[in-house]
Amino acid sequence: MNQTIAAVLSNREVMPETCLMWLEAPEMAAEARPGQFVMVGCDRNFLLRRPFSIHNVESDRVAILFAATGGGTRWLSQLNSGDSLDIMGPLGNGYTINPESKRRLLLVGGGIGIAPLVFLARRAAAQGHRVTLLMGAYSEAQLYPAAKLAPEIEFVTTTETGDDGRMVTELIPEYAPGADQVFACGPAAMYRAMATRREALGLMGKSVQVSLEVRMACGYGVCYGCTIKTRQGLKQVCRHGPVFEMDDILWDKFPSNI
What pLDDT was estimated at residue 42?
Answer: 81
What pLDDT was estimated at residue 172?
Answer: 97
What pLDDT was estimated at residue 144?
Answer: 96
What pLDDT was estimated at residue 62?
Answer: 98
Write the single-letter amino acid at 32: A
Residue 46: pLDDT band (50, 70, 90) is low
Residue 221: pLDDT band (50, 70, 90) is low
Q: What is the mean pLDDT of residues 6-20?
A: 96
- Can you list the domains of the chain with their CATH numbers? 2-91 (2.40.30.10), 104-253 (3.40.50.80)
Q: What is the mean pLDDT of residues 211-225?
A: 77
What pLDDT was estimated at residue 169?
Answer: 95
What pLDDT was estimated at residue 257?
Answer: 53
As a whole-number percent, the residues of the chain with pLDDT over 70 amount to: 95
Q: Which one is predicted more confidently, 103 or 46? A: 103
Residue 101: pLDDT band (50, 70, 90) is low
Residues 6+ apart with CB under 8 A from 73: 50, 66, 67
Whether residue 161 is predicted with pLDDT greater than 70 in this model: the reply is: yes
Average pLDDT of the chain?
Answer: 91
Q: What is the mean pLDDT of residues 172-191?
A: 95
What pLDDT was estimated at residue 218?
Answer: 73
What pLDDT was estimated at residue 258?
Answer: 52
Torsion of CA 89, 258, 145, 143, to 10 degrees: 180
How far apart are alpha carbons 65 and 53 in whole angstroms?
8
Three-state SS across the chain?
CEEEEEEEEEEEEEECCEEEEEEECHHHHHHCCCCCEEEEECCCCCCCCEEEEEEEEECCEEEEEEECCCHHHHHHHCCCCCCEEEEEEEECECCCCCCCCCCEEEEEEEHHHHHHHHHHHHHHHHCCCEEEEEEEECCHHHCCCHHHCCCCCEEEEEECCCCCCCCHHHHHHHHHHHCCEEEEECCHHHHHHHHHCCCCCCCCCCEEEEECCCCCCCCCCCCCCCEEEECCEEEEHHHHCEEEEHHHECHHHCCCCC
What pLDDT was estimated at residue 146?
Answer: 95
Nearest CA to 87 out of 1, 30, 3 is that of 3
Residues 6+ apart with CB under 8 A from 69: 17
Q: What is the mean pLDDT of residues 162-180?
A: 90
What pLDDT was estimated at residue 103?
Answer: 85
Lowest mean pLDDT among 72-86, 164-178, 219-233: 219-233
C-alpha distances out from residue 206 to 6, 133, 197, 245, Å: 39, 17, 13, 10
What pLDDT was estimated at residue 48?
Answer: 76
Q: How far is CA 62 from the centre of its chain?
A: 14
Burial 30-40 (b: 16+ CB within 10 A, else e): eebbbbbbbbb
pTM, two decimals, is 0.93
Q: How far is CA 120 from the centre of its chain?
A: 9
What pLDDT was estimated at residue 4?
Answer: 86
What pLDDT was estimated at residue 254?
Answer: 84
